[in-house]
């Protein structure tokens, strides 16, 4: 899968801040990172998205220098840093729990790195004031760390790294400890900071929304490998593997069998016996098991059979309305017993929708995707 | 009715509170506070005739006018401080290794190894050192066997022997608080220290030691108190030349039956240790409550 990742760096004019080639790390028999290659153009916000245990933390720690890869190479600004200890690498890391030094004030935390870099002491005050202003914390220098709120600590942790002008800033799920509202704010804030400092960010997270909102490029990682690297839009609309389709965004997933294929169009029958049409980006053998992915928001719900011809149209019964404001959904069931989750449009027509009503659900074949089912396991993230 | 039972409950609760508090109150008042008050009173009296006592500062002036007394006093204080510092210097890397480098089984094993010598009494441990250091002892024998010495070497009865014994005795009391505080240091802080460009020395000085300061101080206080009040080790390893202040107290009380003078020495030792601990806390800017919690 990593070959797609390689393709990113082929664009010759782009100068790369960070590149990895065939990076691997094993713990005993277990391959935490397995032959990962990628390169990140200068000034990009690059996210590595994956479930816990997929090896993303190991990958990040190798980039920071806290772990040595078994094989492969890490290039920062074109130079291999394999033999460079963490304190000499031109990368800085924002730790998961931030790791601000509790025995120092905010200014001392920021000054720590400046001193180590050998910047003359008389310049410290100006640099600290500047960076604190940039993270919107002017005048916070004398505060103790335990006087700061969660969001302020985030900003200090980022300021402490960015004041050193690293080639790459590594972020290890720093938003995990924040509450929802603050996390939403910090997502926008991080993106703003990245653009303002024009530093390459490598951000690892298991939260797809963080990755999609902030990133220029996202790599989806699973079992130590990159499944797909692309823009958030590509990952969402053109997933290349079943894992990406299941992990990025919500999907209805159905196991089924191929009946026939003509070009990109596949006719398939789900386990429950529902006949559907789907788009497929690879040739499939008739009769082979597949998994179908349909996003809740591509399905149209209507009280009567839609007037225009749709590739897939099912008569269903509402079994549950899941009200969640703008993200409201309806769970519906076909006569055959197949369950679907459909996004509920925020229009007056559906406000009175309740369990037991009969409705129609329809979508175009081009809006859903199917992939060959993995031989033994259920697709990840299946409901 | 409910009011009455409420009252009863409250009475019962208060009774329980006092019963639980009783042992510590009794212990403190009967064994610590009362004897010390009595010591102060005894130290401030002077025997005029048989069973006749008068108020006097004589015991304290005797201490300051007799050079042997305050020389021993100063020597004990200096030796105790040196022993405490040396214990800290030896115990810190050991504790760091146990708390931060090792994990799992080896970590527990090494910790138990530190604890093991304390399963035998101090007397036996000190005799162990005597077996090693004396003229006919193991080290002396080994030196002769290797031809490094042509006659038995006496390594006991000097300041180095006392120091070795004191450090050995105090080791555990330094290692335990240090391991506890170092253990509570988040590893990511150390990593962040390196990540921001710090060398091992920078990380140690700016991150690890400030974090471990309460543990360092509590270990130092305990070790200093134990060393200053130690009687057995200086006497056995130092012999006649040990000149330890507790020996002076012992002599006054037991050999010379001069309880008044002994009590005055006891009070002076108490003042000295409190003063040095207070100074230590002031210099390192630590608060006593934080160090002891």
- Mean per-residue pLDDT for B220-247? 90
**A293 plus A365 within the same structural domain:** yes
What per-residue confidence (pLDDT) applies to B4? 65
CB–CB contacts below 8 A, A to B: 60
What chain A residue is nearest to B196 in terms of C-alpha separation? Answer: A113
Containing H/E element for B24? helix B2-26
Q: What whole-number distance in Å separates Cα of residue A165 and Cα of residue A331?
A: 50
List residues of chain A with CB under 8 Å from any CB of chain B: 64, 66, 85-88, 91-93, 95-97, 99-104, 112-113, 116-117, 160-161, 164
Q: Do B211 and A92 touch (CB under 8 A)?
A: no
Given a cut of 50, whether residue B176 has pLDDT beyond it is yes
Which residues, in sequence order, are bridge partners of residue B224?
none
The complex's ipTM works out to 0.80
**A264 plus A232 within the same structural domain:** no
Q: What whole-number distance in Å separates Cα of residue A262 and Cα of residue A266?
A: 6
Average pLDDT, chain B: 89
Matching residue, tokens 């679907």: A340
Nearest to A272 by CA among A288, A259, A256: A256
Matching residue, tokens 């040990």: B242
**A222 plus A262 within the same structural domain:** no
Q: What whole-number distance in Å separates Cα of residue A96 and Cα of residue B188?
A: 9
Nearest to A188 by CA among A214, A212, A224: A214
Give me the domain span that covers residue A301.
250-372
Q: Do A104 and B198 touch (CB under 8 A)?
A: no
Residue A382 located in a structural domain: no
Last residue of a domain, which of A217, A243, A269? Answer: A243
* CATH number of A166's domain: 3.40.50.300
What per-residue confidence (pLDDT) applies to A265? 86
How many distinct structural domains can be found in chain A?
Answer: 2
Query: Would you list the DSSP string of B232-253?
Result: HHHHHHHGGGG--HHHHHHIII
Tokens representing B209?
């030691």
B37-74 pLDDT, tens digit each: 999 999 998 888 777 888 888 889 888 898 988 899 99
Which residues, in sequence order, are bridge partners of residue A371?
A291
Taking the CA of residue A380 and the nearest CA in chain B, the distance in Å comes to 31
Last residue of a domain, which of A216, A243, A270? Answer: A243
- From the number of C-beta atoms within 10 Å of its C-beta (0-12, 13-18, 19+), residue A160 rates as buried
Which of B189, B192, B200, B210 to mutate to test binding with chain A, by most A CBs within 10 Å of its CB?
B192
- Residue A20 and residue A36 in contact, taking contact as beta carbons nearer than 8 Å: yes
Q: Which residues of A touch B189 (CB under 8 A)?
A: 99, 101
Mean pLDDT by 10 residues, chain A (383 residues): 42 68 90 91 92 90 92 90 91 92 93 92 92 91 91 92 92 86 89 90 91 92 92 91 89 88 86 85 85 89 80 88 86 86 82 84 87 62 44
What per-residue confidence (pLDDT) applies to B7? 72
Taking the CA of residue B175 and the nearest CA in chain A, the distance in Å comes to 22
Residue A334: CB atoms within 10 A of its CB come to 17
Q: What whole-number distance in Å separates Cα of residue B193 and Cα of residue A383?
A: 43
Q: Do B195 and A88 touch (CB under 8 A)?
A: no
Residue A129 located in a structural domain: yes
Residue A381 located in a structural domain: no
**A108 plus A218 within the same structural domain:** yes
Residue A176 located in a structural domain: yes
Q: Do A103 and B195 touch (CB under 8 A)?
A: no
Q: Which residues of A touch B207 (CB under 8 A)?
A: 101, 103
Q: Do B211 and A102 touch (CB under 8 A)?
A: yes
Coil vs helix vs strand at A352: coil
What chain A residue is nearest to B199 in terms of C-alpha separation? Answer: A87
- Residue A101 and residue A109 in contact, taking contact as beta carbons nearer than 8 Å: yes
Q: Which residues of A touch B192 (CB under 8 A)?
A: 93, 95, 99-101
Which of A62, A76, A98, A99 to mutate to test binding with chain B, by most B CBs within 10 Å of its CB?
A99
* CATH number of A321's domain: 2.40.50.100
Coil vs helix vs strand at A245: helix
Residue A217 located in a structural domain: yes
Taking the CA of residue A144 and the nearest CA in chain B, the distance in Å comes to 15
DSSP assigned state of A341: E
Coil vs helix vs strand at A43: coil
What per-residue confidence (pLDDT) applies to A381? 45
Taking the CA of residue B285 and the nearest CA in chain A, the distance in Å comes to 13
What per-residue confidence (pLDDT) applies to B2? 55
Contacts of A377 (CB under 8 A, 6+ apart): none
Last residue of a domain, which of A243, A264, A298? Answer: A243
Q: Do A92 and B194 touch (CB under 8 A)?
A: no
Task: Select from A91, A116, A161 the Cβ nearest to the Cβ of B198.
Answer: A116
Coil vs helix vs strand at A155: helix
What chain B residue is nearest to A67 in terms of C-alpha separation? Answer: B191
Taking the CA of residue A181 and the nearest CA in chain B, the distance in Å comes to 26
Task: Starting at the earlier edge strand, list the strands of the sheet with A45-49.
Answer: A91-94, A168-172, A200-205, A45-49, A217-222, A225-230
Residue A237 located in a structural domain: yes
Query: Angle at Cα B63 formed by Cα B59 and Cα B64, nearest 5°?
Result: 120
What chain A residue is nearest to B201 in terms of C-alpha separation? Answer: A116
- Residue A320 and residue A331 in contact, taking contact as beta carbons nearer than 8 Å: yes
Taking the CA of residue B208 and the nearest CA in chain A, the distance in Å comes to 10
Task: Select from A64, A87, A102 the Cβ nearest to the Cβ of B197.
Answer: A87
B148 confidence band (pLDDT: 50, 70, 90): confident
Nearest to B84 by CA among B196, B206, B181, B216: B216
**A227 plus A112 within the same structural domain:** yes
Which residues, in sequence order, are bridge partners of residue A266?
A261, A278
**A236 plus A290 within the same structural domain:** no
- Residue A47 and residue A218 in contact, taking contact as beta carbons nearer than 8 Å: yes
Q: Which residues of A touch B196 (CB under 8 A)?
A: 87, 92, 112-113, 116, 160-161, 164
Residue A155 located in a structural domain: yes
Strands (E) in B2-81, as ranges, are 45-49, 52-55
Residue B266: CB atoms within 10 A of its CB come to 22
- Residue B215 and residue B131 in contact, taking contact as beta carbons nearer than 8 Å: no
**A235 plus A256 within the same structural domain:** no
- Residue A9 and residue A39 in contact, taking contact as beta carbons nearer than 8 Å: yes
What per-residue confidence (pLDDT) applies to A354? 82
Residue A320 located in a structural domain: yes
Task: Select from B194, B195, B211 the Cβ nearest to the Cβ of A103.
Answer: B211
Q: Do B192 and A99 touch (CB under 8 A)?
A: yes
**A21 plus A43 within the same structural domain:** yes
**A33 plus A61 within the same structural domain:** yes
What chain A residue is nearest to B207 in terms of C-alpha separation? Answer: A101
**A312 plus A189 within the same structural domain:** no
**A176 plus A95 within the same structural domain:** yes
**A239 plus A322 within the same structural domain:** no
- What does the buried/exposed string (b/e) look like for A88-99 if buried means 16 or more CB atoms within 10 Å of the residue's CB? ebbbbbbbbbbb
DSSP assigned state of A324: B
């Amino acid at each position: 899968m990593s070959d797609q990742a390689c393709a990113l760096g082929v664009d010759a004019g782009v100068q790369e801040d960070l590149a990895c080639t065939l990076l691997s790390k094993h713990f005993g028999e277990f391959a935490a990172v397995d032959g990962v290659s990628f390169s990140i153009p200068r000034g990009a916000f690059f996210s590595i998205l994956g479930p816990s245990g997929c090896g993303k933390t190991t990958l990040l720690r190798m980039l920071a220098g806290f772990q040595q890869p078994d094989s492969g190479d890490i290039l920062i600004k074109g130079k291999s840093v394999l033999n460079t200890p963490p304190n000499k690498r031109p990368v800085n890391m924002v730790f998961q729990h931030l790791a601000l030094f509790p025995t120092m004030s905010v200014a001392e935390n920021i000054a720590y790195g400046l001193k180590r870099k050998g910047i003359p002491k008389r310049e410290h005050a100006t640099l600290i004031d500047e960076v604190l202003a940039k993270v919107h914390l002017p005048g916070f220098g004398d505060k103790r760390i335990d006087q700061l709120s969660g969001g302020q600590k985030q900003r200090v942790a980022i300021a402490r790294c960015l004041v050193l002008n690293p080639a790459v800033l590594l972020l290890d799920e720093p938003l995990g400890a924040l509450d929802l509202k603050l996390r939403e704010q910090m997502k926008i804030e991080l993106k703003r900071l990245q653009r303002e400092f024009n530093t390459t960010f490598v951000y690892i997270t298991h939260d797809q929304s963080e990755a999609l909102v902030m990133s220029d490029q996202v790599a989806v990682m699973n079992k130590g490998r990159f499944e797909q690297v692309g823009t958030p839009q590509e990952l969402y609309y053109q997933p290349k593997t079943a894992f990406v389709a299941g992990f990025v965004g919500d999907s209805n997933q159905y196991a089924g069998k191929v009946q026939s294929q003509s070009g990109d169009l596949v006719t398939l029958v789900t386990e429950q016996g529902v006949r559907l049409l789907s788009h497929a980006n690879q040739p499939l053998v008739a009769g082979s098991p597949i998994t179908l992915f349909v996003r809740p928001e591509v399905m149209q719900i209507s009280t009567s059979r839609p007037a225009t011809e749709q590739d897939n149209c099912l008569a269903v019964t509402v079994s549950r309305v899941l009200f969640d404001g703008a993200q409201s959904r309806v769970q519906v069931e076909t006569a055959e017993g197949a369950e679907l989750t459909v996004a509920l449009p925020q229009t007056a027509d559906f406000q009175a929708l309740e369990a037991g009503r009969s409705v129609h659900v329809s979508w175009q074949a081009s809006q859903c995707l199917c992939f060959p089912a993995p031989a033994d396991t259920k697709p990840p993230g299946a409901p | 009715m409910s009011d009455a039972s409420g009252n009863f409950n409250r009475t019962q609760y208060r009774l329980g509170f006092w019963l639980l508090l009783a042992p510590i109150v009794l212990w403190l008042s009967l064994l610590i506070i009362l004897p010390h008050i009595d010591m102060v009173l005894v130290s401030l009296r002077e025997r005029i005739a048989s069973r006749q006592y008068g108020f006097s500062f004589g015991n304290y002036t005797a201490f300051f006018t007799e050079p042997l007394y305050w020389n021993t006093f100063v020597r004990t204080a200096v030796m105790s401080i040196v022993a405490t510092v040396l214990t800290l210097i030896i115990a810190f890397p050991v504790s760091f290794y146990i708390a931060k480098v090792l994990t799992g089984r080896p970590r527990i094993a090494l910790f138990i190894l530190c604890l093991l010598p304390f399963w035998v009494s101090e007397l036996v441990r000190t005799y162990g050192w005597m077996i090693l250091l004396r003229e006919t002892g193991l080290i002396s024998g080994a030196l002769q066997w290797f031809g490094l010495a042509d006659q038995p070497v006496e390594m006991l009865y000097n300041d180095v022997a006392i120091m070795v014994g004191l450090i050995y005795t105090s080791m555990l009391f330094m290692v335990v608080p240090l391991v506890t505080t170092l253990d509570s240091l988040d590893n990511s802080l150390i990593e962040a220290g390196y990540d921001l460009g710090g060398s091992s020395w920078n990380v140690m000085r700016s991150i690890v030691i400030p974090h471990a300061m309460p543990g360092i101080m509590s270990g130092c206080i305990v070790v200093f108190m134990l060393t200053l009040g130690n009687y057995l080790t200086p006497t056995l390893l130092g012999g006649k030349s040990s000149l330890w202040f507790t020996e002076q107290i012992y002599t006054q009380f037991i050999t010379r039956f001069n309880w008044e003078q002994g009590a005055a020495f006891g009070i002076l030792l108490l003042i000295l240790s409190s003063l040095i601990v207070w100074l230590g806390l002031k210099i390192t800017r630590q608060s006593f409550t934080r160090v002891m919690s």
